[in-house]
Amino acid sequence: MKLHEYQAKEILARYGIPVPPGKVAYTPEEAREIAREIGKTVVIKAQVHVGGRGKAGGVKLAKDAAEAEEVAKKILGMEIKGLTVKKVLVAEAAEIAKEYYAGLILDRASQRVVMMVSKEGGVDIEEVAREKPEAIVKYKIDPHKGLRPFEARQIVLDAGLEGNLNKLADVLVKLYKAYVGVDAFLAEINPLVVTASGEIVAVDAKIDLDDNALFRHPDLAKLREVEAEHPLEIEAQNYGFAYVKLSGNIGILGNGAGLVMYTLDLVNRVGGKPANFLDIGGGAKADVVYNALKLLSKDPDVKGIFINIFGGITRADEVAKGVIQALEEGIVKVPVVMRVAGTAEEEAKKLLEGKPVYMYPTSIEAAKAIVAMVEGQQ
Amino acid sequence: MILIDRNTRVLVQGITGREGSFHTRQMLDYGTKIVAGVTPGKGGQEVHGVPVYNSVKEAQKEHAIDASIIFVPAFAAADAALEAAHAGVPLVVLITEGIPTLDMVAAVKEIKDLGVRLIGGNCPGLISAEESKIGIMPGHVFKRGKVGIISRSGTLTYEAAAALSDAGLGTTTTVGIGGDPIIGTTFKDLLPLFNEDPETEAVVVIGEIGGSDEEEAAAWIKEHMKKPVVAFISGRSAPKGKRMGHAGAIIMGDVGTPESKVRAFEEAGVPIAETIDEIVELVKKQLG
């Protein structure tokens, strides 16, 4: 789960990392009031869950309260990569002397949380990683020991950061504590600024949380913003399905993440475009399949459905019952292609005999068939 | 076969729960030698005739346990795995899905430091065909034969095993290593075991997008593997930055792309099957 910059900064501040004074505003009037309280030049930043806000014109300076209101009026309601800006962060503009990068990521290869620090801050760190990898110092953290101050000081020295060594190292130690404290997947400060007067401030911050750990952070779980997600993804979540909306027109339903990914690949290979990823999980009963079809039928993009089932713990006949119910209630109005194998395969085929479902013995044949049917409609 | 056979004495952690009890019955029916169960606070009960203990240590005292399978809910699963490892169980199979990632980072390191093999989390377990099943897979699709399987997926593995069995090739041991970003055992940890197993004549590796375990496996195969390997990768058409069902099936930046995995296997001389049926054809071709 992604957090907004202002939420990430609240977390960092809670762990003792200095952030510029500021508040979130939902209206231009609120922005003016916050700027007046700050009484200095402020920066107004769109709070949306996409990158590239600056380039899109979603980050602007304002010298006083009146200008803050003007700027906020322009940014609020702006569309950035398909998302509407509903709130802005109004924060004191820092006097930047140096811009650094400090981030923590989960490194799957080493199975460690890795701290990355670079002198090249304030720019896209992935670009730095590609073009100047030597400019990034990486340090694998022992999960049982955490990041100790002596390790953090060495990271600062190795990265060649200039400024108060102890204060810079302290930010790294606290960033790791925050990462573990909120169960983050990613936490970064970019830029980590050393001001003209030598103060250290986290001017921008990004935190992604581990969804698996949200149960122990109910305060953070509440911050999930449903409007940032596709409405069908939210509905799928309520049903407990693993669902991803895609850009094509063939609805895909299967049991098991690997099988569903494979089904998408097959449809793509034969020239079709899947409308979604939908995994009904293991051991699904008829009602689960029925609900899954109901969900797919709400997607206006779906012009045909491909159901791919390999019965293991899931029984193919249970799947068939769900499909039949959805067909008989008239919920599904597009062609349905199905391939079933494994546990209770014969029972399923018997149940589906004479029903308006096109059955194919292999996944690839079924994929070709649904692609041809959907193309035929156009 | 590797890791388990009909003599492997198995403990079930979380045996009194719905999943634990259901799969204990399934495993017993398959012939798995389940000797004990553990649910803290429910010691003294029985589940399908299997005695339940309060701790792994207590169970271990009464039965020499070779392997443990864990059906404990996500919030307590890493702790259960640590309990088994500290009680001296040499093989721990973690089925639970949705375990907090940092719990796994800490637990995997500690369990490895203890010299214990952890398989999973978020995995279907492992099965030595017609010998022992320590997992949740449908046992009947695995016919005894000569192909070893290592997989990040569940259902797709059952498909591959069924296809290999139908083709008369059959399987030795199949290990579902799990779909999470941090798992106890990866492809390259198991390839050496299959390499030395006299019964296994070929290995099928079923990977997917996300992470770099497939690339590491390819590098190991190139250097050390004496037997033919066939690879399969799912999620070839998946968009970047989206989690495809498994927590670990996500392309982040340049890491975890199917192109990189395909390239690594090609460089190692490992043929890549485009469909499940092609896995069978390629294995047959490799075995000559």
Residue A95 CB-density burial (10 A; 0-12 exposed, 13-18 middle, 19+ buried):
middle
Neighbouring residues of B61: CB distance < 8 A, sequence distance ≥ 6: none
SS3 per residue for A19-55? CCCEEEECCHHHHHHHHHHHCCCEEEEECCCCCCCCC
**Residue A227, pLDDT score:** 61
Q: For chain A, what is the radius of gyration of the CA atoms?
A: 26
Touching A: B residues 121-180, CB under 8 Å: 136-138, 141, 151-159, 162, 179
Asked if residue A21 has pLDDT above 80, the reply is yes
Give the integer Cα–Cα distance in Å for B128 and A209: 38
Q: Residues 30 to 49 of B: which have CB under 8 A from any A CB? A: none
Global pTM reads 0.93
Angle separating helix axes A5-14 and A165-181, nearest 10 degrees? 110
| Ranges of H-type helices in chain A | 5-14, 28-38, 65-75, 125-131, 149-159, 165-181, 218-221, 231-239, 257-269, 286-297, 316-328, 345-352, 363-377
Give the H or E element holding residue A77.
Answer: none
- Give how far Cα A308 sits from Cα of A75, A162, A243, B161, B277, Å: 46, 58, 15, 17, 15
CA distance A197 to B196: 65
Share of chain B above pLDDT 70, in %: 100
* Integer CA distances (angstroms), A198 to A100, A123, A168, in order: 13, 21, 11
Q: Is B140 a catalytic residue?
A: no
Reduced to 3 states, what is the DSSP secondary structure of residue B228?
Answer: coil
Angle of helix A231-239 relative to helix A286-297, nearest 10 degrees, comes to 170
Distances (CA, A) of B210 to A2, A29, A47, B233: 19, 45, 29, 11
Q: Taking the C-alpha atoms of B157, B160, B166 and B170 in order, what is their torsion angle to the nearest 10 degrees?
A: -70
* Mean pLDDT within A1-27: 96
Q: How far is CA B192 from CA B89, B117, B154, in A?
A: 22, 14, 22
pLDDT per 10-residue tile (average), chain B, 288 residues: 98 96 96 98 97 98 97 97 98 96 98 98 96 95 97 93 95 97 97 98 97 96 97 94 88 88 96 95 94
Task: Give chain A's length.
Answer: 378
Amino acid, res. B74: A
Give backbone dihedrals phi and psi of A98, rounded to 5 degrees, phi first: -135, 145
Residue A314: is its pLDDT beyond 90?
Answer: no
pLDDT of A264 higher than 90: yes
Which one-letter amino acid corresponds to residue A80? I
B253 touches chain A (CB under 8 A): yes
Q: Which residues of B touch A126 (CB under 8 A)?
A: 253-254
Peptide bond into A181 cis (omega under 30): no
Rounded Cα distance, B204 and B171, in Å: 10
CA B43 to CA B38: how far, in whole Å? 7
Q: Residue A378 has what pLDDT?
A: 67
Give the pLDDT confidence of A234-244 residue by residue, as tens digits.
Answer: 889 888 899 99
Q: What is the ipTM of this complex?
A: 0.92
Q: Does the structure show a pLDDT above 70 at A354?
A: yes
B239-242, long-range: CB within 8 Å, 24+ apart, which pairs? B239/A244, B239/A246, B242/A244, B242/A277
Q: Which residues contact A54 (CB under 8 A, 6 or more apart)?
A: none
Closest chain B CA to residue A266: B275
Contact (Cβ atoms closer than 8 angstroms) between residue A327 and residue A357: yes
Tokens at residue B234, please? 């799912």
| Dihedral, CA of residue A369, residue A370, residue A371 and residue A376, to nearest 10 | 90
* Active-site pick, A67, A92, A99, A101: A101
Q: What tens digit of pLDDT does each residue of A196-250 get?
A: 999 999 999 999 999 999 999 999 999 887 666 778 888 898 888 999 999 999 9
Whether the Cβ atoms of residue B66 and residue B93 lie closer than 8 Å to each other: no
Which pair of tokens denotes residue A370? 């649904």
Whole-angstrom distance, CA of residue A111 vs CA of residue A271? 38
Chain A contact for B239 (CB, 8 A cutoff): yes
Predicted local confidence at residue A228, as pLDDT: 61
Mutate to test the interface with A, among B99, B151, B155 (most CBs of A within 10 A): B155
Q: What is the DSSP string of A195-238?
A: ETTS-EEE-SEEEEE-GGGGGG-HHHHTT--GGGS-HHHHHHHH
| pLDDT for B38 | 98
Tell whether B96 is within 8 A of chain A (Cβ): no
Q: What distance lies between CA B60 and its chain's CA centroid? A: 23
Q: Do A111 and B182 touch (CB under 8 A)?
A: yes
- Of chain A residues 123-162, which have a CB less than 8 A from chain B? 126, 130, 142-144
- The per-residue pLDDT for range A34-68, each reduced to its tens digit, is 999 999 999 999 999 887 888 889 999 999 999 99
Whether residue A120 is predicted with pLDDT greater than 80 in this model: the reply is yes
Tokens 């609020």, residue? Answer: A76
Residue of higher predicted confidence among A127 and B29: B29
3-state helix, strand, coil in chain B (%, to 5): 35, 25, 40
**Band of pLDDT at residue A281, cut at 50, 70 and 90:** confident
CB atoms within 10 A of CB A148: 14
CB contact under 8 A, B101 and A108: no
Q: Contact at 8 Å (CB) between B211 and B137?
A: no
Please list every residue in chain B whose beta carbon sits closer than 8 Å to the beta carbon of residue A312: 137-138, 141, 154-155, 158
Tokens of A66: 């009146």
C-beta atoms of A260 and B245 within 8 A: yes
Specify the pLDDT at position A224: 83
- Is residue A242 less than 8 Å (CB to CB) from chain B? yes
When the pLDDT of each residue in chain A is averaged and rounded to a whole number, the result is 94
